[in-house]
């Protein structure tokens, strides 16, 4: 069992993030076509088309875990580098890893999403406790700390919410990260913030995930607050779908709360309201969505099925069983290497952190960092706290590089294969779905927004509207388009302030889908269709 490692990443951003119910209904058909080109009549998604086979994983910010002193480590690495004098290759060959136990189980990345105070951090803490990642002494410490703050029920969330601001406010601000294992799967869990002020951080977490756990509070009034206009349940679902989260486990939390008391009627009410919305957002509810009731605070129906004496009507799986049963497409380790960089630091050289979206990597590889086109060599690789010789798609890595300094790397740069580097552009053609503009705003040439794509956050401007798409026929309209309103689909030219690394959606979906936000509000989702010559 891997020991727990937790970290937080993402910048704080404030604003009023809303996606109205009407907007969601109006654009449901186009959302399916735009985001993932569904092949099912009811919005079902072919999973193989939903996410690139070579893309999956999570980024992490964590300390370099090494037992030896700096001198000893440098000597060991020097000996290893002397051994690895094989011809340069493009990170497509796999070799045995030093700690091969990490690769015996499949690895999945799970993002926890939902409205603020739905119980995401508490569930994350309970998962870590039940999987043996946290000991009783630590729990007792958190219980005392929460009691001293007069917040007795928050203690389980303290496992995931590690900084004082989060514990004082009782809300998640940054993306918390931790790991646990079942008998068949290694999981990396991302605890995304639910507050509307921190949606960009939620985007960062969801863009890294294979599947999502949508947490809904069953408490009287709390589900309604999160689901109705102004709540984050709706926006989180739409963003998750846009960002490539093709599978959802919807957990109805707080079932033990006195206003609920494991009521089947309340559970059925929530499920009946969520299903039409999930379908409208592009999810195939039968294939890609599971519902189940839980209590995050006391741990009911998480690791083991809830007792019949507590919930006599539930005959389905517990959360661990549901997570283990999720089927994610196999990844292709032989495609061109892509690892968007989330952060970097100095430690006996320059270390970059990110998730492998495509291809494989091993010690001794020669790669290139884009967009500054600096050739680098891989000195060492870490998966979790284990030093390894190689890693495949979907893994969370810290990679020590030579021939580059920390100050020459920024978040959003991409570690890439030399023979086929990732494209670098400052302008592209995109198909956009307008969700909900700010009041009195008009979407036309000159419209400015903030672009979010993989680990890139960059200011952009709409420089030209090329075609409007008919929502019924999904074909371009002949008339010239000068502006569009909420719910419209449009092909446009987007210009950026700086050069960024992206892919066409048709070539690599995970690096070709994006969101546009203005003044803290998600106004559009889109996919890159072409680059300018």
d(CA 241, CA 190): 16
Q: Smallest Cα–Cα separation from 452: which of 529, 527, 371, 515?
A: 515
**Identical fold, 106-325 and 338-417:** no
Confirm if 208 and 243 have CB atoms less than 8 A apart.
no
| Residue recorded with tokens 């303290």 | 158
DSSP state of 180: E
Decide yes or no: CATH 3.40.50.720 for domain 106-325.
Answer: no
Instruction: Determine the number of helices (DSSP H) and then strands (DSSP E) in the chain.
Output: 13, 24
d(CA 428, CA 301): 47
Whole-model pTM above 0.85? no
d(CA 516, CA 451): 5
State the DSSP string of 38-77. --STTS---HHHHS-TT------------SS-HHHHHHHH
> Within a 10 A sphere around the Cβ of 142, how many other Cβ atoms?
18
Residue 343 contacts by C-beta under 8 Å, 6 or more apart in sequence?
Answer: 9, 59, 61, 352, 353, 411
Structural domain spans, the chain: 106-325, 338-417, 424-530
Residue 41 contacts by C-beta under 8 Å, 6 or more apart in sequence?
Answer: none
Q: Smallest Cα–Cα separation from 237: which of 530, 525, 483?
A: 525
Q: Smallest Cα–Cα separation from 252: which of 239, 266, 231?
A: 266
| Residue recorded with tokens 């302008």 | 427
Confirm if 215 and 123 have CB atoms less than 8 A apart.
yes
CA of residue 130 relative to chain centroid, distance: 24
Q: Smallest Cα–Cα separation from 450: which of 524, 394, 378, 386?
A: 524
Query: Integer distance in angstroms from the first to the last C-alpha of the chain?
Result: 50
> Within a 10 A sphere around the Cβ of 204, how many other Cβ atoms?
27
Chain length of the chain: 533
| Residue recorded with tokens 């284990």 | 386
CATH superfamily, with its number, for domain 338-417: Translation factors (2.40.30.10)
- Two structure tokens written together for 270: 């929530």
- Residue 111 pairs in a beta bridge with 190, 212
- Residue 473 pairs in a beta bridge with none
| Residue recorded with tokens 């061109």 | 336
Cis ω on the peptide bond leading into residue 371 (within 30° of 0)? Answer: yes
d(CA 53, CA 496): 28
DSSP state of 421: P
d(CA 304, CA 310): 13
pLDDT means per 10 residues in the chain (533 residues)?
Answer: 42 40 47 44 37 35 35 44 38 42 71 84 84 70 61 51 46 61 87 59 72 92 83 81 87 94 96 92 91 93 95 96 87 88 88 90 96 95 88 89 93 94 96 87 92 91 94 87 91 95 91 89 91 71
CA of residue 158 relative to chain centroid, distance: 21
Burial class (CB in 10 A: 0-12, 13-18, 19+), 114: buried
Strand segments (E) across 409-509: 414-416, 424-434, 443-444, 448-453, 456-469, 483-484, 489-501
Which pLDDT score, from 0 to 100, does residue 31 have?
46
Which pLDDT score, from 0 to 100, does residue 69 have?
39
Which one of 3.90.1150.10, 3.40.1440.60, 2.40.160.20, 2.40.30.10 gives the CATH number of domain 424-530? 2.40.30.10
């Amino acid at each position: 069992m891997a020991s727990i490692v937790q970290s937080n990443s993402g910048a704080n951003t404030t604003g009023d993030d809303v996606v109205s119910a009407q907007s969601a209904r109006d654009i449901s058909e186009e959302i399916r076509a735009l985001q993932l080109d569904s092949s099912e009549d009811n919005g079902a998604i072919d999973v193989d088309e939903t996410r690139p086979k070579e893309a999956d994983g999570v980024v992490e910010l964590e300390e370099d875990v090494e037992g030896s002193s700096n001198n000893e480590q440098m000597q060991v690495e020097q000996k290893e580098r002397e051994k690895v004098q094989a011809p340069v290759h493009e990170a497509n060959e796999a070799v045995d890893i030093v700690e091969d136990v990490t690769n015996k189980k499949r690895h999945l990345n799970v993002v926890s999403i939902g409205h603020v105070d739905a119980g995401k951090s508490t569930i994350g803490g309970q998962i870590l406790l039940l999987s043996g990642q946290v000991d009783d002494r630590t729990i007792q410490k958190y219980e005392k700390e929460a009691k001293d703050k007069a917040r007795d029920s928050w203690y389980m969330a303290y496992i995931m919410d590690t900084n004082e601001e989060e514990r004082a406010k009782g809300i998640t601000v940054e993306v918390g990260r931790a790991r646990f294992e079942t008998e068949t799967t290694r999981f990396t869990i991302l605890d995304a913030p639910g507050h509307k002020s921190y949606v960009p951080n939620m985007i960062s977490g969801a863009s890294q995930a294979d599947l999502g756990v949508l947490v809904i509070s069953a408490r009287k009034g709390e589900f309604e607050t999160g689901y109705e206009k102004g709540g984050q349940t709706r926006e989180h679902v739409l963003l998750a779908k846009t960002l490539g989260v093709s599978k959802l486990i919807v957990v109805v939390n707080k079932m033990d709360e006195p206003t609920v008391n494991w009521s089947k009627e309340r559970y059925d009410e929530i499920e009946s309201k969520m299903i039409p919305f999930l379908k409208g957002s592009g999810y195939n509810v039968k294939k890609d969505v599971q519902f189940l009731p839980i209590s995050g605070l006391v741990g009911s129906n998480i690791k083991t099925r809830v007792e019949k004496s507590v919930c006599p009507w539930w005959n389905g799986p517990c959360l661990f069983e549901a997570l283990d049963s999720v089927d994610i497409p196999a990844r292709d380790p032989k495609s061109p290497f892509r690892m968007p960089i989330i952060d970097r630091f100095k430690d006996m050289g320059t270390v970059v952190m990110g998730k492998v979206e495509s291809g494989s990597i091993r010690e001794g590889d020669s790669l290139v960092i884009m967009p500054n086109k600096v050739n680098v060599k891989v000195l060492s690789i870490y998966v979790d706290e284990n030093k390894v010789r190689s890693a495949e798609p979907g893994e969370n890595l810290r990679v020590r590089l030579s021939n580059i300094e920390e100050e020459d790397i920024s978040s959003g740069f991409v570690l890439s294969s030399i023979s086929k580097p990732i494209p670098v552009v400052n302008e592209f053609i995109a198909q956009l779905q307008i969700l909900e503009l700010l009041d009195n705003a008009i979407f036309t040439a000159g419209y400015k927004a903030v672009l979010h794509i993989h680990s890139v956050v960059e200011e952009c401007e709409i420089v030209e509207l090329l075609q409007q798409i008919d929502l019924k026929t999904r074909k371009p309209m002949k008339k010239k388009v000068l502006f569009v309103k909420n719910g419209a689909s449009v092909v446009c030219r987007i210009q950026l302030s700086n050069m960024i690394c992206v892919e066409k959606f048709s070539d690599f979906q995970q690096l070709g889908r994006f969101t546009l936000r203005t003044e803290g509000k998600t106004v559009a989702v889109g996919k890159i269709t072409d680059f300018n010559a």
